[in-house]
Structure 1
Amino acid sequence: MKINPLKNTTFNPYQKQIQKSEDIKTNVQQPDKLEISSQAKELQKGNEIEKARQEKVEDLKQQVQDGKYNVDSQKTAEKMVDFWSNRRM
């Protein structure tokens, strides 16, 4: 049995893979892009409630650092008892 070689000497079984890799190299990928809506920008600014809360926290921090903040242990204990008794019911 005689096997005749292919007449076309330019035949390359991996031609499609080579072409794909060349296409990938030539394609320049676009950089990632991020767009923030105007509503999201408004939310990032914060609101009056958050600002007031932050001021209160800063004031409490300052009182604690100065030693002027006193905790009422009786009220704290009452709140803890209320919390745990309501939770178990």
Structure 2
Amino acid sequence: MKINNINSMNVNPYKKNVNKLPNVERSSAKADKVEISSAAQELRQTSKVVTERLDKVEALRQQVQSGNYSVDAEAVAKSVLQYFSNN
């Protein structure tokens, strides 16, 4: 069996369907809506731990900017060694 003219018709079935769609205004489409449960809202509120962490980060940021922050290289090396020895 011989088949000739493969893909020579330039037929795109998707173009035909696009022209048949009714004209719908995009503004009249329903908007997405998100509802957050009360439990999620409680988690979202700032807790004491989050506040303390933000304070600690701000203190470290000020130390770095002023040039007073120093890194304990030995403690960092021990931590890296411990991490890779456990894995």
Q: TM-score with structure 1 length normalisation?
A: 0.54
Equivalences for residues 59-74 of structure 1 within 5 A: 59-74=59-74
Q: What is the percentage of aligned positions where both structures have the same residue?
A: 42
Distance 1:52 1:66 in 2: 21
* 2:12 match: none
Tell me, what secondary structure is at the counterpart of 1:70? coil
Distance 1:75 1:56 in 2: 19
Distance 2:29 2:75 in 1: 63
CA spacing shift, 1:30–1:75, aligned 2, 3 Å: closer
CA spacing shift, 1:35–1:68, aligned 2, 3 Å: same
Flag structure 1 segments of 5+ consecutive residues without an equivalent: 1-27
Structure with greater Cα Rg: 1
1:34, distance to aligned residue in structure 2 (A): 4.4
CA spacing shift, 1:70–1:31, aligned 2, 3 Å: closer
Equivalences for residues 1-89 of structure 1 within 5 A: 33-87=33-87
Q: TM-score with structure 2 length normalisation?
A: 0.55
* 2:23 match: none
Q: Tell me the matched-pair count.
A: 63
Flag structure 2 segments of 5+ consecutive residues without an equivalent: 1-27
Cα root mean square deviation, aligned: 2.5
